[in-house]
Amino acid sequence: MIDLPDSLTQTTKDAPSCERCGATTRVGEGLCATCLLREGLEAEGEASSQIFESVLAEANVPDKQWRLGNYEILEEIGRGGMGVIYRARQRHSRRMVALKRVLAYQADSHETLARFRREAEAAAQLDHPNILPIYEVSESEDGLPFFSMKYATGGSLRAAAPALRNQPNECISLMAKIARAIHFAHGEGILHRDLQPGNILLDGRGEPFVSDFGLAKWLMGESDLTQTITTFGTPGYIAPEQAESAASDLTPAADVYSLGAILFNLLAGRPPFVGENVLSVIHQTAANPAPKLRALAPSLDRDLETICARSWNAIRERATKPRVIWPKISNAGWRAVRSSHARSMRRFTFGAGRDVTRFSPALA
């Protein structure tokens, strides 16, 4: 079991304070949002770069080859609203890892720390060959939490999607492995809730790994983290019920829907719903039935269209029983039978209630 650092449960009053003004609104190492704001407001005329340079001059800014705990940071490889991801090298083992750290200006956000803690706990609990493993959870000298994980050298499924567009067999093989990983997570009582191509990583051989459990939900029991997180996933890949319902109402069918949406994107070249903005996509998802795969890609086999359709029907058939934790998705899940585009898959059924998955040796 990986021990979580105290900073992941730290309250604002426990956070280190600024030596200049005493505030706890940290921005980075030696930086304070309150001081930055005060400098800008007190300046005469239009704020200029000199104002910020005077504050930054007092900060302890590391050089290009800096260290974080037992890791040497090599380069930044990703950044989001909550954290930043680096390619790093473990100092003693020399192992290459990906290292995720909370963004400094988010360090005093209860929701950010809760989500970071959720991601670390969920991924550390799930030991599966297609779930990205976490190696260590720790914190920096200034109290910012971070964790190291497997470095997937092949990038994300989102980046690989264009090359897979005309390879339905490869798409099916990848999705079978991803679905087995999610089925395993469900068996451990964890929903992902943010399955989308950017959260599926690939290694150098093209093997997929499910990552980013920052929105994960525990199926059993009341979790304070479940009540804290308000973000609801990625528009275009979430089920209508996920955008409209409380977290406690969601079931494994929500993840099944997302898996179907990912497969649709791989085969059709776009998500089921697209729009000019996020609200437009959410509205379409809630108001309109999902399009048929072969309407966009008529050359594809009908069985591939069936996989997507059944993944969406799974959650729609659940609408009348929103609080049943383990619905009979095995009968309304997604299934592929032998076809010209899926010969390697003898039969595939994704079930949330029980293991009804059967694979050909090629996918085992």
Domain of 104: which CATH number? 3.30.200.20
Look at the block and give the residue holding tokens 């191509």. 197
Query: Is the separation of the CB atoms in 216 and 192 below 8 Å?
Result: yes
Amino acid symbol at 358: R
Query: Is the separation of the CB atoms in 363 and 177 below 8 Å?
Result: yes
Residue with the bigger pLDDT between 197 and 355: it is 197
Residue with the bigger pLDDT between 258 and 333: it is 258
The pLDDT, as a whole number, for residue 166 is: 86
> Of 114, 132, 150, which closes a domain?
150
**For all residues of the chain together, what is the average pLDDT?**
73
For residue 134, the enclosing domain spans 62-150
Q: Are residues 179 and 243 in the same domain?
A: yes
Q: Are residues 291 and 197 in the same domain?
A: yes
- DSSP, collapsed to helix, strand or coil, labels residue 72 as strand
Q: Are residues 333 and 265 in the same domain?
A: yes
Q: What is the mean pLDDT of residues 25-42?
A: 62
pLDDT band at 23 (very low <50, low <70, confident <90, very high): low
Domain of 355: which CATH number? 1.10.510.10
pLDDT tens per residue, range 207-231? 999 998 877 777 655 444 444 344 4
Q: Are residues 66 and 33 in the same domain?
A: no
pLDDT band at 90 (very low <50, low <70, confident <90, very high): very high
* Residue 230 lies inside a defined structural domain of this protein: yes
* Residue 1 lies inside a defined structural domain of this protein: no
Domains identified in the chain, total number: 3
- Kindly name the residue from 194, 212, 255, 303 that is annotated as catalytic: 194
Q: Are residues 246 and 300 in the same domain?
A: yes
CA–chain centroid gap for 256, Å, is 15
Active site residue 63: no
Q: Are residues 82 and 207 in the same domain?
A: no
Q: Are residues 48 and 194 in the same domain?
A: no
308 backbone dihedrals φ, ψ, rounded to 5°: -65, -45
Maximum average pLDDT range among 11-25, 58-72, 217-231, 250-264: 250-264
Q: What is the mean pLDDT of residues 176-184?
A: 90
* Residue 4 lies inside a defined structural domain of this protein: no
Q: Are residues 103 and 228 in the same domain?
A: no
The pLDDT, as a whole number, for residue 138 is: 87
Residue with the bigger pLDDT between 327 and 258: it is 258
pLDDT band at 26 (very low <50, low <70, confident <90, very high): low
Q: Are residues 70 and 45 in the same domain?
A: no
Output the six-digit token pair for 129. 């060959």
> Of 126, 150, 174, which closes a domain?
150
* Residue 253 lies inside a defined structural domain of this protein: yes
Counting beta carbons within 10 angstroms of the beta carbon of residue 81, is it exposed (0 to 12), middle (13 to 18) or buried (19 or more)? exposed
pTM confidence score: 0.70
Q: Are residues 252 and 324 in the same domain?
A: yes
* Residue 98 lies inside a defined structural domain of this protein: yes
What DSSP string runs through 205-240? T--EEE---TT-EESSS--HHHHH------TTTS-H
Q: Are residues 24 and 138 in the same domain?
A: no
The pLDDT, as a whole number, for residue 66 is: 80
